[in-house]
Every structure is written in structure tokens, then in C-alpha cells.
Chains A and B, each alone.
Chain A
Amino acid sequence: MEPKTFLPLTPVAFEILLALRNGALHGYAVMQAVNEASPRRVHPGTLYRAVARLVDEGLLAEEGGESEGRRSYAITDLGRRVAAAEAMRVAGQVERAQGIQKSARRPREA
């Protein structure tokens, strides 16, 4: 599937993909990474609903977890491509935002 069709990602979903960029993590570690990276508290419900979506869409793969239901998650190839596409999209936004501060500070003329 075309990565673009998944864009834009929710901030939490994007953070989850980013947290897994270096390899699979347990749910607890994902929670930790996402909360450390986010400016606001991310509650478990928000996190796992995003995880569920990502798994359903094939961006994440669930591993293990027969016992006690605790699983770990890995990013799939598709997930990697979607994350890259999202990063490009955000980068474009950042580029367009250049100078926004300056212009905001400049007093209105006329």
C-alpha cells in the first residue's frame, strides 16, 4: 500500500513509530519513550488505541505475549515507510514555517 494514504499520522502514532525505529520494544518501554518525548501526558488508553490501529493497519507487528498478555512491538517495513513519509511531511511544514516567528513579531503596517 502507498505510505501516503496513512498520512497525516496522529502525534501519538508517530511517536510510537519513532520509538520503535531502533528495534522491538515491550509495551512498557513504548509507554516510557512516548511519554518522555511528548509535551503532554499520554494516557494508556490513548497509547494502546493507537497501537491497536497501527497493528490493524499493518504498520506494527505484535510479538509474543501468550503468557499474561504482555507483548512487544516491532515496526514493519510499511511502518518504516509511513514514518519516513510522515517525517517528510512534517519537514515540509517546518520549512514553510521558517520566518513565521519574525513575521508574527513585526508590527502591522498601515
Chain B
Amino acid sequence: MRWARRLYRLLLRAYPPTFRERYGADMEDAFVYLLRTKGRFRYGLWVGTLWDVVGGGLSERRRARRGNRNTLGKGGAGSMETWLQDLRYGVRTLVKNPGFTLVAVITIALGIGANSAIFSVVDSVLLEDLPYDEPDRLVTVWAELQTRDVEFFPYSPPELRDLREQTSALEALGGVVTFRQPLTGEGDPVQISTAGVTTNFFDVLGISPQLGRTFVPEDGAPAAAGTPGTAPPTLPNSVILSHGLWQRRFGGDPGVLGRTVDVGGVSSEIVGVMPPDFELWLPPQANVDPRPDLWGAMRLDFDNSPRNNVFITVLGRLRDGASVSQAQAELDGATARFSEQFAIYNTLGYRQRAVPLMVDVTRDVRPVILALLGAVLFVLLIACANVANLLIVRASARERELAVRAAMGGNRVRLFRQLITESLLIGALGGLVGLVIAQLGIEALQAFGPATLPRLATVSLDGTVLLFTVLAATGAALVFGILPAVQASRFELSSVLGERGRGGGGAGAKRLRSAAVVLEVALSLVLLIGTGLMVRSYRALAQSDPGYNPAGLMTFTTNVPFARYPEATQRAAFTMQLLESLRAIPGAEEVGGVFPFPLSGQPFNGRYGTESALEDERNYRQGGYRATVPGYFETMGTRLIAGRTFDEADFNDSLPNVVVDNVLAEKTWPGESAVGKRLLVRPLGPDPVWVDVIGVVAHQRHQTLAADGMETLYFTDRYLGSFGAMTWAIRTGGRPDLLVPQIRRAVASLDPLIPLDDVRDMESRVHEAGGGTRFALVLIGAFGLLALALAAVGLYGVLSYTVRQRTGEFGVRMAFGAEGRSIVRLVLRQGLTLAVAGVAIGIPTALLLTGVMESLLVGVSPTDPVTFVTTAALFVAVACVASLVPALRAVRVDPVVALRED
């Protein structure tokens, strides 16, 4: 809202100052009223506003002039008619020089297209309000465990109850958790994404259903039986369908309300349907699916659930007028009370924080997008420098024409206006073509952009982006047009007409052109260094060992419903039977399973410690927990470092054995063998238990490919109580996807109601995990190469022009016996001087700027000397080539021809 007002204030400058002083503030208020009532980003509103401001401003200015004709002074310059005349003349000039026009327009269009495409991302992802009621008042609430380096810790039901009671700056607090469950009844069983929410959740967001109702408190009344300890919360029996599921599964039938479906083995009544565009935006650390298929009201027992059963991501709505810092102060108070009541909070380094939802959602992508915005701005500046160069050359070619016009009575101001009008025309054409390029760019972004970029699907060329494009085109036209226009309209009449009309600009024009080239080289060097850093990051990523071998692996997930398999022994039996069936598939070389699976994004963390933790709880550390099925490490190709891995006896007898990774082993027992040691863990109930380390394996990268992540403990799934969800991996020598029909048969023969979920080969999981880095690499790389090409063209242009200008001089030199080599050297030296000057400016600039890329880089520092030196060398080489072509042309000059020309 604030930036929209600021933009409008800027637009109001179209009005004459007297009018603005009188009504400006009121008009801003009126505009804000329109925004409030007519929607913020409607294309029509902005286009209408632009029309209103420009049209109204111009006619108001005309009126003001008519009214005060006497005070305006020297009339003439300024009327509409003159401007139209300039415009007509400008069009004629551009049409007469199609080559120049084409090159200039395409250059500017590339710059503007790149800017508009990236700005459309900035607009949709960083600027546009989240699609909720008064989204500025929404905050996420997180706990932190500082002694264990956990920054995004969710809440337990009793903690949520306490927060609701102890915060008044937050008028409502709701919670959500998403998980996958089977949907059965009415058609084939399918695995769907479900969200469990508190009954007030949709009220917190301010979202109404398309059909039926949202939840009421009764939907969330706790079930009579106690909720199971660490199991995922069972879905209660009032559910709301997403629009997509409603269409897919129920054909959009409005009669679904009141019908029952079976979700995860629990019979549930459909009470509502969500609108089609509803999406849930939370930070990636919440691990919440933005588009669940089905929403259920959680039956939370706020009074009797254990406080260590944390799974709720909490979202709050600030009371009208309350600030985030007020909410934060109340959270700090709540933290203090928690710590007084329960000693455990003291040992965790427990803190809580409230973060505006928008900040939380965009935190991870903001640096990438801003780095890209910087990159395209550079591209546009380089394009401007190139076109400015072209204009200076052309102005000197037109000196006679301009001089004649001046002699015929045009004054300097008129000439200047004429040249600026031409620039604006080029800018406008560039903007139009740029819009086409931007549209193509947006489509490419949406096709290849990473899933981690929130709201990428909503990116489009809307009114805001059009407005931005208009401003960018105008700004660019002024940037590349003003200096050449000043230069060209400042000539001395007599000198031009008196001279022999070859022009070429005086020393001033030459300096200006050199400066433009130096600037281009500097800017494109900065971009190329950015590209180089991304290339090195990508290579580091590709070469890093994730701890598993993705080739030849097929993976899928099964969920055994608690409702039909209430006992852990039943679920464990299913798991072992499935393991046997999968092993029997021809072509299956190894079979294993784990939950949660690497790169699945699902966290599952817990504490571990040694004897020292018995004395002082603060000695516990946080590690990743995994539930495995025997054969897991062998299937994944994870290296066994010491001891042994799990066998079927470990699983079937639920032995208290764990396998740890080398990171944990080295942290806990540096320099010693971990095998045979004991660890204190707390996987199930509130009491810690001892487990024996039987083996050490190589560390697996779990959350991202880019960083090592947390140390890990592997249990058997049986030991953790067989909680039903399992991701299976099958290694084959052939094509992994060929196994899928047999996998389906194997699962269906055991239980036809259990659907396969998330069926993918491992390589596609790894590919997707590298998506964000690849995306940034491709974009920054493309912009870097574009910049390099533009800079090379600019350098080439300047030198060819110089060579042409000095043809006569070269001819004389050669007639007097100068060797070709010395001429080449002369031209080369000029080119290299410019390039080196650019590099000298570019390197310190890059040192200052690459810091913003830090979060994108993997295994390379933002000031990596190798990248800097290589890029600078590459640049000088390109500059050599760009200079050599005109230099060789200079040598080929026939002295006779050259002299005659003069």
C-alpha cells in the first residue's frame, strides 16, 4: 500500500505545481480509497490511473498556461503542436535509418525485456499482498531451541493454548500441519495431501469457503480416547475439500456437502469446499504443503497432550493497531512463564518470535530475486551505454543536418527536444518489443523455475509490470539520450559549417564514448564474475557426495493407516511382508526403506546425548532421526564405515540398536570408534533410553544438496513403533521406471486399499533438489553472457569508428613507411586501454556487490580470487578479439585510397 501511494505521488507530478499543492494530498487519499475498494493490482485500475493522471495532468497544464499567458514569459517551446512536430520528424528519421533503428531498438528491448520479466517476479513474489484478509496483520509464531541450533520449532497443543491466553496483541492464533493420507471409498484409493488445522484457522486467514462452511469449535472437540504420543494426529471427522479434489474426485457436485469419505481409515463428513485459488503460504521451514487436497479440523486435547508432542505451525492475527513488537514482548513474557513452570524450557535455550507472514514467506528467495534484479538492471545500463554510443556516432554523422536546422532558426532547446524525442521513440519501441521478450521470459521462468519460489504461477504482465515497463523505457531513453543530445546541440555553428564536415565529434564526444565503453566493460565484468561464481557453485554441487548413489533407484511411499492396523505389530508385519514381495520382483537387486526420505523436505529430529546428558540436560544435542527397513544403506549405496548395518533380527525383535553417521560419531567420540558405545535418546515417551551403536555409515544429505546438514541416527522402523509411513527404495540395473507396474502389484496384493504415493526415481529427486541453484545459474549466466556480448559490440563499435575516422592518418603513416604491425598495435592499445580501465573499475565494484550472492553460493566464497582473475582474463581476451577486427581492417587500407579520401 505504501509503495503504491508513493508511486501515485510520483505520477501526480504530471499536474502543474499549483494544482498539486492544492489537491495533491487529497488526491492521494482518494487514490488509496480506490485501491482499498477496487483491488490493488487490477490491471484496469492502474491503466485507468495512468490515463487519468497523464490526460488530466496535461490538460490542467494547458489550462494553467492559457490562464496565465502573461506570466509564462518566453512562449514557444512547450506547446503540444511543437511536440507533435518533433514526433513526426523523429519517426521520419528513424524510418530513414532502419539499420540504426533496428540495432538500437533490439538492444534496448533486450534490456527492458529482462527487467520487466524479473520485475514481474519481484512484483508477484515480493511486493504483492498475500491473498488473505488484511495480510499485513498476519504473523507466524515460532519457537527456537538455541542450545540445539533449532530455529523453526513448532508447537504442542498445550503451548498453543497458553499462547492464546497470554497474548492480547494477537487477537487469534491458529495452527496447521500437513501430511499425506489415503482417501478411500468412491473410486480407487489415492494418497492425498491433507491439512489438519485448528477450527479457527480459516478465520485467522480471513478466508471463506466457496461452498458450505468452515470449521466451528465443535468440529475440534477432543476425542474421548487419548491421542497417541508421537503418532501423526489422526484426522478428525469434519473435512473441507480443496476445489481441485472436489472437481477431480466428485465432479464438482454441489451435493457433496454432508457426504462422508474415508480419510486415513477415519470416516469424515464433508462440510465445505474451498475456493479454487486458495493457497496456503508459509515459510518453507514449516514444511507445510501450500495446496492440500483436503482440510480437516484437528481434535486437539489442549489440556492433556504432552508438551513435547510438537507439530503445529502457528499463525496469528494481530489485533487491529497492534504491532509485531507488542506481540513479541508478549511472547517473551510467555517464554518466561513457560520456563518458570517447566524446567525443560531452561535447558533448551527456548525463545519465541513473531515474524510478519510476508517476511517469513519470502525470506529465502528475497536475496536470489534481488540479485537477479541487480543483474538485469546492469544489463539495461549496458544496453543504454551501447545505444548512447550509437547516438553519438549518428549525431556526428548528422552534424551538418543539425547545423542547417540551427541556421534555419531552430534554437538549441528545440534541437535538444528533437533529439530527446527520437530517444523516447526508440525507448518506446524498445519497450514494446521488450514486453514480448518479457512475456516469453515469464513463460520460460514458469516452465523452469524452482518449486521453492512461492507464487511463481501468479507471475504475469499485469498493470504494475506494464507501468514498470513504461517507466523503465522512459528512464532508459533519458539515460541513453540526454548526454548525446546535450553533446550534439552544444556544437559551435561556425566550426561545423566551416570545417570539412566529417565531424566525428570533438574531444568531448570522444571522451563520452570512451566513458560509455569503460562503463559497459565494468558493468558486464561484474555480471560475468557473478556468473563465474554460480558456475563454480553448480560444479561444487554436482561434485559433492550426497552420501547415496541416485542412479538406478526407484522410490515410492506407502502409508499404513492406523485405523485398520491399530497395533504396531500389525504395521511391522505389513512392512516385512512388503519387503519380501519387493525383493521377489525380478530385476530388483536391493530393497530398503527409510522415513523420512532424503530430500523429501520432511524433518524428523530428536535429541541425543551421552552420560554427560544425564547430569545436565543442556548436554543433549539435536540430531536427525530416521526409521529404517533392513537393506536401506545397501540399496542407497551409502558407505558402511565401521561395524554393521541392520539385519532382520534387529527389526523383528525391536532391538535397541542404532546406526549413526560419521558426523555424529566424530562429534560425540572424536578419535574413538563409535561401534559398541551407548547413546541416550528419546524417540518415544518422555523418558530417555539407552541404545547401542552397532555401525557407522557415511553422512547423507537430507534437507538440501548444498549443505551437510544435521548429524543423523538411524533406528529400525519397528523400534520406533512402526508409525506407518515408509519411503521405499529399490535398486535395479535397468530402467527404474520399468519396475513400477510390478511394485503396484506387490502392494495391491498385500492390501488393495493402500495407494502408492510419490512414485519417482531418485535421480529426479536429486535433479529437483538442485533446481534453485540451477535456476539462479541459468538466469545469471544468461544475463552475464548478454552483457558480455553487448560490451564486446560496444567496444568493437567504438574502435571501428575510430579506425574509419583515422583512415587518412593511417594512410599517411603507411605511406611514410609505417609497418602494418605498428598500426595494429596502435588500435589494439586503444581497445585494451578501454578494456583495462573497465576491468579496473569492475573488479572493486564486483568485490562490493557479490556479497549479496552469498546465500546462493555453494563451496565458493563471494570474493573467490580464481573466479575474479579468470573472468578478468576472459574479458581482456574478448576485448582483444573485438579490437583486432577493426585493427586488421586499418592495416588493409590502401594509402592511396586513404589519402584521396581526405
With A68-B25, A69-B22 known as contacts, the answer to whether A28 contacts B34 (CB < 8 A) is no
**Using a CB-CB cutoff of 8 Å, which residues 37-87 of chain B contact chain A?**
37-38, 44-45, 48-49, 51-53, 55-57, 59-60
Q: Which of A2-10, A38-46, A93-101 sits within the interface?
A: A38-46
Residues of chain B contacted by A70 (CB below 8 angstroms): 25-26, 29
Which residue of chain A lies nearest to B28 when distances are taken between CB atoms in the complex? A44
Contact (Cβ within 8 A) A28 B57: no
* Nearest-Cβ distance from residue B452 to partner chain A, whole angstroms: 38
Cβ–Cβ < 8 Å partners of B26 in chain A: 27-28, 44, 48, 69-71
Inter-chain contacts of A48 with B (CB < 8 A): 19, 23, 26-27, 30
Do B25 and A44 touch across chains, with their CB atoms under 8 A apart? Answer: no
Residues of B contacting A46 in the complex (Cβ-Cβ under 8 angstroms) = 52, 56
Q: Which of B21, B25, B52 is within 8 Å of A43, CB to CB?
A: B52
- B24 on the A face (CB < 8 A): yes
Q: Which residues of B contact A68 (CB under 8 A)?
A: 25
Contact check, B57 vs A45: say whether CB atoms are below 8 A apart. Answer: yes
Question: Which residues from A are CB-within-8-Å of B53?
Answer: 43, 45
Residues of A close to B52: CB separation below 8 A: 43-46
With both chains docked as a complex, state the minimum distance between the C-beta of A97 and any C-beta of chain B, in angstroms: 29
**Which B residue sits closest to A68, measured CB to CB?**
B25
Given contacts A45-B53, A45-B56, A46-B56, contact A32 B33 (CB under 8 A): yes
| Contacting pair A28 B45 (CB below 8 A) | no
User: Given A46-B52, A49-B56, A69-B22: A41 and B27 within 8 A (CB)?
Assistant: no
Contact between A51 and B23, CB atoms less than 8 A apart: yes
B25 touches which of A31, A45, A69 (Cβ 8 Å): A69
Among residues of A, the one whose C-beta sits closest to the C-beta of B59 is A49
Residue pair B34, A52 in contact (C-beta under 8 Å):
no
Residue in A35, A43, A51 whose beta carbon sits within 8 Å of that of B48 in the complex: A43
Complex Cα distance, B27 from A45, in Å, reads: 7
Taking CB atoms, residues of chain A closer than 8 Å to B37 are 35
- Smallest distance from the beta carbon of B164 to chain A beta carbons, Å? 37
Q: How far is the CA of A44 from the CA of B57 in the complex (A)?
A: 11
Cβ of A105 to closest chain B Cβ, rounded Å:
33
Q: Min CB distance, A36 to chain B, in Å?
A: 9
Inter-chain contact B29/A28, CB cutoff 8 Å: yes
Residue of A nearest to B60 (CB): A49
Across-interface contacts of B56 in A (CB, < 8 A): 43, 45-46, 49
- Inter-subunit contact B34/A35 (CB<8 Å): yes
- Expressed in whole angstroms, the Cα–Cα distance for A68 and B24 within the complex equals 10
Tell me, rounded to whole Å, the shortest Cβ–Cβ distance linking B414 to chain A. 30
Contact check, B23 vs A41: say whether CB atoms are below 8 A apart: no
Alpha-carbon distance between A47 and B52 when the two chains are bound, in angstroms: 10
B19 touches A44 (CB 8 A): no
How many A-B residue pairs have C-beta atoms within 8 angstroms? Tell me.
70
Number of contacting residues on A, CB 8 A? 19
Give Cα A41–Cα B48 distance, bound, in whole angstroms: 9
A44 touches B48 (CB 8 A): no
Neighbouring B residues of A52 by C-beta, 8 Å: 19, 22-23
Q: State the majority secondary structure of interface residues on A.
A: helix
Set of chain B residues within 8 Å of A71, measured between Cβ atoms = 26
Which residue on B lies nearest to A69, using beta carbons? B25
For B57, give the chain A residue with the smallest CB separation: A45
Q: Which residues of A contact B44 (CB under 8 A)?
A: 41
| Distance, CA A47 to CA B29, complexed state (A) | 12
Interface string of A68-93 (1 = CB under 8 A from B): 11110000000000000000000000
Q: Establish whether residues A27 and B60, one from each chain, have CB atoms under 8 Å apart when the complex forms.
A: no
Minimum C-beta distance from A92 to chain B (A): 30
**Most interface-central of A28, A44, A45, A70 (chain B CB within 10 A):** A45
Q: B60 contacts A43, CB within 8 Å?
A: no
- Please, how many angstroms separate the alpha-carbon atoms of A32 and B38 in the complex? 12
Q: A49 to B63, alpha carbons, bound, how many Å?
A: 11
Question: Chain A residues near B34 (CB, 8 Å)?
Answer: 31, 35, 41, 43-44
In angstroms, Cα B538 to Cα A6, docked, is 73
CB-based nearest B residue for A47: B30
Among B21, B33, B45, point to the contact of A69 (Cβ < 8 A). Answer: B21
In whole angstroms, how far apart are the Cα atoms of A70 and B23 in the complex? 8
Q: In A53-80, which residues have CB < 8 Å from any B CB?
A: 68-71
Contact of A41 among B21, B45, B55 (CB under 8 A): B45
Flag if B19 contacts A28 (CB, 8 Å): no
Instruction: Please indicate the chain B residues that have their CB under 8 angstroms from the CB of A47 in the complex.
Output: 27, 30
- Distance in Å: Cβ of B579 to nearest Cβ of chain A: 66
Given the complex of chains A and B, what is the CA–CA distance between A68 and B758 in angstroms?
60
**Candidates A31, A45, A49, A51; contact of B33 at CB < 8 Å:** A31
CA–CA, A22 to B383, complex, Å?
59
> For A41, A47, A68, A70, which residue has the most chain B Cβ atoms within 10 angstroms?
A41
CA distance A51 to B24 in the complex (A): 13
- Rounded to whole angstroms, the CA-CA distance of A59 and B26 in the bound complex is 19
Known: A48-B23, A51-B23, A52-B23. A43 touches B33 (CB 8 A): no
Which one, B29, B51, B59, contacts A31 given CB within 8 A? B29
Chain B contacts for A31, CB-based, 8 A = 29-30, 33-34
Q: In whole angstroms, how far apart are the Cα atoms of A52 and B26 in the complex? A: 12
B31 at the interface (CB under 8 A from A): yes
A residues less than 8 Å from B38 (CB atoms): 41
* B27 with A44: CB separation less than 8 A: yes
Identity of the chain B residue whose Cβ is nearest the Cβ of A30 in the assembled complex: B30
A31 to B51, CA, bound (A): 18
Contact A27 B24 (CB under 8 A): no
CA of A64 to CA of B640, assembled, Å: 83
Q: Considering only CB atoms, which chain B residue lies closest to A71 in the complex?
A: B26
In the complex, what's the smallest C-beta–C-beta distance from B476 to chain A, in angstroms?
Answer: 26
- By a CB distance below 8 angstroms, the chain B residues around A35 are 33-34, 37
Bound-complex Cα distance A57 to B135 (A): 44
| Chain A residue with the shortest CB-CB distance to B51 | A43
> Cβ of B45 and Cβ of A27 under 8 Å apart?
no
User: For residue A45, which residues in chain B have a CB less than 8 angstroms away from its CB?
Assistant: 15, 27, 52-53, 55-57
Contact in complex: A28, B33 (CB < 8 Å):
yes
Assembly CA distance A71 to B21 (angstroms)? 12
**Residues of chain B within 8 A of A28, CB atoms compared:** 26, 29-30, 33
> Once bound together, how far apart are the Cα atoms of A27 and B15, in whole Å?
18
Residues of B contacting A69 with CB < 8 Å? 21-26
Query: 8 Å CB contacts to A: which residues of B831-852?
Result: none
Please measure, in the bound complex, the distance between the C-alpha atom of A52 and the C-alpha atom of B56, giving whole angstroms: 12
Pick from B21, B30, B55, B59: contact of A44, CB under 8 Å:
B30
Kindly state the separation between the CA atoms of A37 and B819 in the bound complex, as whole angstroms: 85
Q: Contacts of B30 on A, CB cut-off 8 Å?
A: 27-28, 31, 44, 47-48
Contacts of B19 in A (CB 8 A): 48, 52
Tell me which residues across on chain A come within 8 A of B25, comparing CB atoms: 68-70
Question: C-beta contact mask, A20-35 vs B, less than 8 Å → 1, else 0?
Answer: 0000000110011001
State A51–B26 Cα separation when bound (angstroms): 11
B31–A44 contact, CB under 8 A? Answer: yes
> How many angstroms between the C-alpha atoms of A44 and B25 in the bound complex?
11
Residue among B44, B49, B51, B52 with most chain A CB within 10 A: B52
CA gap between A32 and B27 in the complex, in Å: 12
Identity of the chain A residue whose Cβ is nearest the Cβ of B27 in the assembled complex: A44
Residue of B nearest to A43 (CB): B52
A7–B29 Cα distance when bound, in Å, is 30
List B contacts of A27 (CB < 8 A).
Answer: 23, 26, 29-30
Query: What are 18 A-B pairs at a CB distance below 8 A?
Result: A27-B23, A27-B26, A27-B30, A28-B29, A28-B33, A43-B31, A43-B53, A43-B56, A44-B27, A44-B30, A45-B52, A45-B55, A47-B30, A48-B26, A48-B27, A52-B22, A70-B25, A70-B26
Which residues of B come within 8 Å of A, CB atoms? 15, 19, 21-31, 33-34, 37-38, 44-45, 48-49, 51-53, 55-57, 59-60
Q: What would 10 more interface pairs be, CB under 8 Å, given A31-B34, A52-B23? A: A27-B23, A28-B33, A31-B30, A41-B34, A41-B38, A48-B19, A48-B30, A51-B23, A68-B25, A69-B25
A residues near B, CB below 8 A? 27-28, 31-32, 35, 41, 43-49, 51-52, 68-71
Q: What 8 A-B pairs come out closest when comparing CB atoms?
A: A45-B56, A43-B52, A27-B26, A44-B30, A31-B30, A45-B52, A44-B27, A69-B25
